[in-house]
Amino acid sequence: MSGTFNYQKDSNNIVTVTMDMNGPVNAMNDEYIVLMTETIERLEAERDAIAGVILTSAKSSFFAGGDIKNMLKAVPGVDEPALFTQTESIKSLLRRLEKLGKPVVAAINGAALGGGYEICLACHYRVALNAPAVAIGLPEVSLGLLPGGGGIVRLVSKMGVEKAIMPLLEGTRFNAEKAAAFGLVEELASDTADMMAKATSWILANPEAINPWDVKGFKIPGGDLRKPNIAQMIQGAVPMLAQKTKGLMPAPEKILDVIANTLRVDFDTALRIESRALTSLVTSPQAKNMMTFFLQMNQVNGGGSRPKDIAKTKVKKVGILGAGMMGQGIAYVSARAGMDVVLKDISQDAADKGKAYSDKILTKAISRGRMTEEKKADILGRITATVDAKALQGCDLIIEAVFENVDLKHDMTRELEPLLADGGVWGSNTSTLPITLLAEASVKPENFIGVHFFSPVDKMPLVEIIVGDQTSTETLAKAFDYALQIKKTPIVVNDSRGFFTSRVFGTFVDEGAMLIEEGVEPVLIESLAKLVGMPVGPLAVHDEVSQQLTKKVVATNRDLNERLGDNMSVDTASARMSNVFVDEYKRNGKAYEGGYYDYAADGSKTIWPTIRERFVKADVAVPNQDIKERILFRQVVESVRCLEEGVLKSVADGNIGSIMGIGFPPYTGGVFQYINTYGVQKFADRAAELSALYGERFNPPALLLKKAADGELFA
């Protein structure tokens, strides 16, 4: 069945064009060009017989934007001319639509993001359904791209640079009400019939509609580059972007360049400049990485690691053991998702403090206009803070979020597991302890699973689900569904010490400590880590998680070695540095007396002088490039080991987990995509060089060497 742009003319001579392309969404691909061309030609031929046009969609979304899979196929140095021609072709169709000489209204019934909103901008008026499914904006920068269908030029021309610049640079997505308040749409509708009626009314009231930039003498709202404050804003944005992107992501700079050009040349010339800028980005490694990440994210959220042929479930009542930092966050996201929550602690005061965390978040949301008092009351009303174990009776899911202590967790399981509903799931929020070991206390180990959250839970988007040796596929499916229910992205890993995220995160912290032990200047370590795209340096991160916690983890690992008969080394650089901090200087981390840094009351921080006095060596000269690559390679090599050992179940889970859980640089597309972009053979060779220079932790794993020998990518 071929797609269609259904063309219907009513008694008012208004044509409704309903986009209904092949596949689940409308997208800006070759089929779109054919269908839109046919539609424009017919509209132009019948111009004198029509009063106006309403453009809408037969899908649940309005229009999904560009065809990412097609763009990923573009070959650098080969396909740019064809890309430019296609972009210009798409633009010419939208120009013909807006210059039809008749009013054109976009009736936005669902998501209109990227190319979808660019179509709306080429219309003369926009009416959006006021519904949760509606999302509006130009988020191309998050894919390493820019709006290339006229989005930059039209948005700046529509609302002026002062208003348009941040949504373009940040890729902001607006719901219907915020889109209307911001000026992205002119009117909201209560339902489909109301939307179509409002579109019709506007057309009848505005028969001579024309976009302002096609009116002779048009001036961009707020002024162009000849206005001093506008010129200063553009100039000031350059260093701001450089500080934010560290030169690692070209898209924001290209967007700013197109914005500046829109302010100094005529409309059609600006459109052509925009096309060239998009063309240069599509074949860039950063865009390919970020587009790959986007597709893998859809794969993961779409159930890529969820067992098939198991009916979807919803948690109605969840119990959370421990109302500390993790437990209170899990309680909030669960209640916000509509579940009844029992938040249990050993004292009522602790339980109440845990519930107060949700109150604080909701109150802040109200002050920002993002929450109503009624909704806040509803969410808080779902949380029962208690010391009474009986309140857990009948929970579909109980998540234990107590201290990382095997015996304590075993005690919790033995005492409270019987209160689960039939078929209920027991989840342990642990970052390091093997799930199979924790499940030894369970009478139903098949219903036992790891559910590893990240702090702060309300902000971190990832959940790492850990499957024990006896965990059933039904239990995995239920845990996966719960993660989606609370609007988190779930990755699934097999059981091991530290799983995937904690294990790889630990290498980042440890490499920072190794560099300190070698005598490298701490500011240099931190600066180079940020220059390769890590959000913060390894020393600052170690302070955040605390040296005190590192010592506890070491003790836990010693205990696990004894319990499991393992010989995992606990003599790491981060452990040795923590001993120095805690035992010798009583510096336990940022939340205590400080660690690598001293922390001032105003929030500023400086390297603790004793670090330089004791460790920095004037004659040490580790090349900057080596430091940069050690910081990234250490994490990547460990990730390959996780895949090789079967801890990671898929490349996609590794890429998504590394960026969303560990903070691996987004421009890389994740740990495995980083290897693909670097070149698998080249990466293996460089890892071997680093191993020879700095230690066997960089040894290329057998899986990496096999991929290199076979000429295969990590996919």
Closest CA to 101 of 249, 207, 5: 207
Alpha carbons 27 and 34: distance in angstroms, whole number: 12
Structure tokens at 146: 């820019």
- Give Cα separations from 140 to 145, 173, 393, 701 (angstroms): 5, 11, 47, 36
Alpha carbons 553 and 493: distance in angstroms, whole number: 21
Tally of CB atoms within 10 A around 436? 20
How is residue 66 annotated by DSSP?
B
Q: Is residue 389 a contact partner of residue 309, using CB atoms and an 8 Å limit?
A: no
Q: Is 23 left (phi over 0), alpha (psi -120 to 50) or beta?
A: left
Beta strands in 296-419 (DSSP E): 317-321, 340-344, 383-386, 395-400
Q: Is 603 left (phi over 0), alpha (psi -120 to 50) or beta?
A: left
- Is the alpha carbon torsion for 308, 311, 314, 315 positive or negative? negative
Rounded to the nearest angstrom, the gap between the alpha carbon of residue 262 and the centroid of all alpha carbons in its chain is 30
Answer whether the bond into residue 132 is a cis peptide, omega within 30°. Answer: no
How is residue 427 annotated by DSSP?
E
Rounded to the nearest angstrom, the gap between the alpha carbon of residue 596 and the centroid of all alpha carbons in its chain is 29
How is residue 75 annotated by DSSP?
P
452 is catalytic: yes
Tally of CB atoms within 10 A around 371? 17
Q: Is residue 497 a contact partner of residue 560, using CB atoms and an 8 Å limit?
A: yes
List, by residue number, the catalytic residues: 452
